[in-house]
Structure 1
Amino acid sequence: MKRCNVGVERMAVKQGPTARSCILSCGGQRTMRTCMAGCPRLEPGELQPEDFEGAAFAFLSAYCLYVPGLLERAIELARGAGASVALELASFEVVRAFSQTIKSLLESGAVDVAFCNEDEAMELAGGTPEQGLDYMAQHCRRLAVVTLGEKGCLVKETGAEDVIAMPACAGVKAVDTTGAGDLFAAAFLYGLLNGMDLRRCGEIGCMAGGAVVQTLGAEMGRDQWSWLHQRMHGELAGAVVRDSAAAVQQELLACYALIEKQGRGVVYYGSARLKQDSPHWERAVHLGRDVANLLGCTTWSGGGPGMMEAATQGALLAGKRVAGIRIQREAGTTVLTASYLPTGSQVHCRYLSSRKVALVDSGVRMKESDRTAYIFLPGGLGTLDEFFEILTLVQLRKLGTKFPVPIILVDYDGFYAGLLQFMKACDDHGTVGAPELRDLIVAHDNVGVLDVLRQYYKLDGEEGVKRSSPSKVYRASAFLQLGGSEERAEAAGL
């Protein structure tokens, strides 16, 4: 699951033997018998409200009914967290054994979306699959779905008269149907979460089910993912199905989900090599704390050691939200370092491109009231790479065109003096236009950074915000236009 960027932070692990299952698969069909004797089980009291925090859907299986009270507890907590409830009916034998309980749950209005196959629908309604669909749609809050194997699926929205019938994918040679229902439901919910209409949700559900039945077991290999992407993305599939492209896509989706969950804010860049014995460490801790208190937004970083950790630790001292987009290896390290970030506040990226895009997105202002910034602490090649990338995005009007974002270069002890002279030389040779650097502001200390943010977001009059003493700050554009003089640039004001 980690390899596929599935978050496992909330997964409970118990010691003990697993359940055992005997599966007979022949001609694309399979039957199975499972023995759960002696294996650990999840008990209702072990579920906690935080397990459902931030979830859009809680996907629950009727197999939970074998543990008394577990399904009811999960529904209660999901509802309390504001999540919708999707219930799949597991098997016709589960429906037969717990028919009255399942009907009571559906009729109570506790379920938003119900999934079942045709055998389960017939068992539930005591009639045809269509009758089972009608019964579930009548009582679900949102819709019901019945899968029909090689005949596709039926979808009916609650309160609607019409049934949407979607055919199965043509040309599929079924090897083993294990996992078909789960993959169908996953793809269908993916469609719902991405705002697709019900016909498209049913279509990609059939695609996903059609992909997994082409292999033994419930895990799709590269060929099956390629087959699925070919049908989902058409002409774009040639690029999507490459291993690296597909992995980058998955990583970006995980990053975007974290950004939406944690909220955008101030993004810190800086060296992973500068540790607690560096004179810059304590300054960065204090800066992270004070900026978090001033703006009240999320503190973002690459989640690595050094300056990233120092700024994040400062925000944690302030009791504010933090998050990180991590990479497998930082400069000066040989392995992924231990995390200081809270559970559920980080994404691990294998590809640098995913991480870079996500960190930029973490600081984008989506509306006038957003308070974000890109803050560059002392750093090396990686920091400069990110620095020039952000300046290039601004230059090309790909960033900050509607709501500009301050880009602050923290010049502790003249650390970036050489960089500023290099940029002045670029301006002298005509390879950089000074006006393009208007959003880049140089501050020599923490006081200057805080003053910049106060002025940028007009926070002087806000309650609880104290005015700092004057500090040397100036726009890089003025520095270039005024002959590389810090004094004249500072006098020009922000």
Structure 2
Amino acid sequence: MRPKDLLANVGEFHSKAGGSAANTVRGLASGFGVRCDLVGARGKDEWGAMFASSMKRASVNTSKVRVQPGPTGRCVILSHNGQRTMRTCLDDAVRLQKDALTAEDFSGSKWLFLSGYCLYGEGLMERAVELAAAVGAKVALDLASFEVVRAFRSQLTSLLTRYPVEVVFCNEDEAVEYMGGLQSGATPEQGLRQLSTLCNIAVVTLGEKGCIVKARGSDTILAEPACSGVKVVDATGAGDLFASGFLYGLMRDFPLQKCAQVGCLAGGAIVQTMGAELTQACLRWLFARLHGDLAATVVRDSASAVHQELLECYALIARMGRGVVYYGSARLKQDCPHWQRAVDLGREVARLLDCTTWSGGGPGMMQAATLGALEAKKPVGGIRISREAGTTVRTASYLPTASAVFCRFLSSRKVALVDAGVRAAETDRTAYIFLPGGLGTMDELFEIMTLMQLKKLGSKHAVPLILCNYDGFYDGLMNFLRAMDRNGTVGAAELKDVMLAAHNEEVLDTLAAFYGLSRKVDGEPTHHLTPGKRASSLLGQLP
């Protein structure tokens, strides 16, 4: 029977994006908010496009997935009464070769999750483990299938013997197969014990019976029952999502019993839908059991959307790099005397610090500073929102298309803009610069000042916070802060890192002094800046 005739006779069928490792990282990203990169290959076809769309929808970074000529790998899954049988079709599919892996693929990673299917690529798994070890990443390995174990048992043993592997996941069939198969008379418990001698943590999933876990050197086997009262729609991805939950627990330093519980919950969530992609209903069910009934009411569509927006923002910031964040009024246009000052400041700061210029991506002062940075031919980024100062701004942006994220929710935008100015290392050059602004600008200013006051921001690496007091714009704010100081509601010392600048030159000199840089004024470098040319601290402005 021809394939198209077969499909016509099977009744209802669906096309879903997935794959062992892909399912696990998608579960980590969408279900637990873990920032994940996917390394692999896909074809330049409709299946590959669908796969990439699904991963991006879950906020998985797919920039490390190679797009190659040829078909994307596929599989057929027959599902009935909650159980399923799967057959892959990989013969002509594009594959990632070991020589294509680079150190950059693993840079900054704390964990590497590998599927046993990698063993079909000669030397691929070993190469990945070596590169992960070079950056200090822990390795988690899923044995994937009893057929994989049967075909590569000796290679698996060799790999587990030669390389440090933190955790191995397998189901009961794979555990028995590792011990020699059904004919050996081995049990899943025996497989668990043997695997635990080769890695730090061995985990065997038992389907509707839950899972068993054993740590290297411990005589105790931990057992965790499966979730009760779950209506199983499709078992596809249950083991993959179990691994998502278990790994999340390890990342949070949960005890192993708690890791197993979270794993069972994640597996219980995914079997309630068709395919291995968590739906809103799955997320509500999962969060209610992780965090209580209140979470089920809070984790509605809007909360999930905020979560997704934050992940998109973080991915953009990671790609563009942190830098100087500008805040200011969306209402002040080109006929305002502050406009050209903001353009000039954006241009000169970008040249001085050689970093990304960030803003809310809206009109007014945000646009002016960004246009200045573009004049300097430096990278710019924006965290946009649909309304600025009561005005709808969903229009074509002056920002490059790939340099902005559009948020529906103010909370995700505010958090992301603060993150864009954090100094993660001593060598980072960032700043928060406040141009003249209104209520939104004041809200963000006081939020950052509060974060600094509570040592939630800048405690490890200080970040300059500068107010551009053009034409005395912030004099009224100074009077307000003086009144707060007199009444004892704020301590002047808490404002010592906030700088007030009357002119752009003071901003530039302050940043140059802060980062130990030299500037050219009238063609001459200024290596030694006098205090009079720098912005003054708010501490010095208060009596």
Query: TM-score normalised to the size of structure 1?
Result: 0.77
Partner of 1:488: none
SS at 1:139 equivalent? coil
| Amino acid across the alignment from 1:146 | V
* d(CA) in 1 for partners of 2:75, 2:216: 36
Query: Which runs of no fewer than 5 residues in structure 1 stay unpaired?
Result: 482-494
* d(CA) in 1 for partners of 2:273, 2:503: 60
| Amino acid across the alignment from 2:101 | L
Q: How does 1:34-49 map to 2 (within 5 A)?
A: 34-49=88-103
| Amino acid across the alignment from 2:535 | V
Partner of 1:138: 197
Change (3 A) 1:54 1:367: closer
SS at 1:87 equivalent? strand
SS at 1:216 equivalent? coil
| CA RMSD across the alignment | 4.2
* d(CA) in 1 for partners of 2:172, 2:151: 17
* d(CA) in 1 for partners of 2:243, 2:164: 18
Change (3 A) 1:378 1:97: same
| Amino acid across the alignment from 2:220 | D
Partner of 1:487: none
SS at 1:98 equivalent? helix
| Amino acid across the alignment from 1:39 | A
2:114 to 60, 85, 92: 60
Post-superposition shift, 1:310?
6.0
* d(CA) in 1 for partners of 2:433, 2:515: 18
Post-superposition shift, 1:474?
3.4
Q: How does 1:75-224 map to 2 (within 5 A)?
A: 75-126=129-180, 127-140=186-199, 142-224=200-282
* d(CA) in 2 for partners of 1:422, 1:182: 54
8 Å CA contact 1:86–1:114 kept in 2: the answer is yes
Please list the CA deviations of residues 175-212 of structure 1 after superposition, one character each: whole Å capped at 9, or x if unmatched. 21100111011111111112211111111000000111
Partner of 1:485: none
Change (3 A) 1:23 1:392: closer
| Amino acid across the alignment from 2:212 | L
Post-superposition shift, 1:374?
2.6
SS at 2:231 equivalent? coil
Partner of 1:444: 502
Partner of 2:475: 420
| Amino acid across the alignment from 1:281 | V
2:469 to 403, 411, 427: 411
| Amino acid across the alignment from 1:246 | S
* d(CA) in 1 for partners of 2:172, 2:278: 24
SS at 2:292 equivalent? helix
1:74 to 116, 128, 141: 128
* d(CA) in 2 for partners of 1:157, 1:312: 54
8 Å CA contact 1:303–1:339 kept in 2: the answer is no
| Amino acid across the alignment from 2:91 | A
Post-superposition shift, 1:450?
4.9
| Amino acid across the alignment from 1:173 | K
* d(CA) in 1 for partners of 2:218, 2:369: 53
Partner of 2:413: 355
* d(CA) in 2 for partners of 1:21, 1:368: 48
Please list the CA deviations of residues 15-69 of structure 1 after superposition, one character each: whole Å capped at 9, or x if unmatched. 4333342222122211111222322222222222111111111111111122222
Q: How does 1:449-468 map to 2 (within 5 A)?
A: 449-452=507-510, 466-468=527-529
Change (3 A) 1:15 1:334: farther
Q: Does 1:301 align with 2:358?
A: yes
SS at 1:144 equivalent? strand
* d(CA) in 1 for partners of 2:164, 2:407: 37
Please list the CA deviations of residues 433-486 of structure 1 after superposition, one character each: whole Å capped at 9, or x if unmatched. 78668444211234423554677x6979xxx992224326334566576xxxxx
Change (3 A) 1:146 1:478: same
Question: How many pairs were matched up?
Answer: 460
SS at 1:31 equivalent? strand
Post-superposition shift, 1:147?
0.7
8 Å CA contact 2:192–2:214 kept in 1: the answer is yes
Post-superposition shift, 1:312?
6.6
Partner of 1:490: none
Change (3 A) 1:352 1:182: same
Bigger mean CA deviation after superposition, 232-241 or 429-438: 429-438
Please list the CA deviations of residues 371-396 of structure 1 after superposition, one character each: whole Å capped at 9, or x if unmatched. 9753224556654442244356678x
Query: Which runs of no fewer than 5 residues in structure 2 stay unpaired?
Result: 1-54, 181-185, 518-524
8 Å CA contact 1:289–1:314 kept in 2: the answer is no
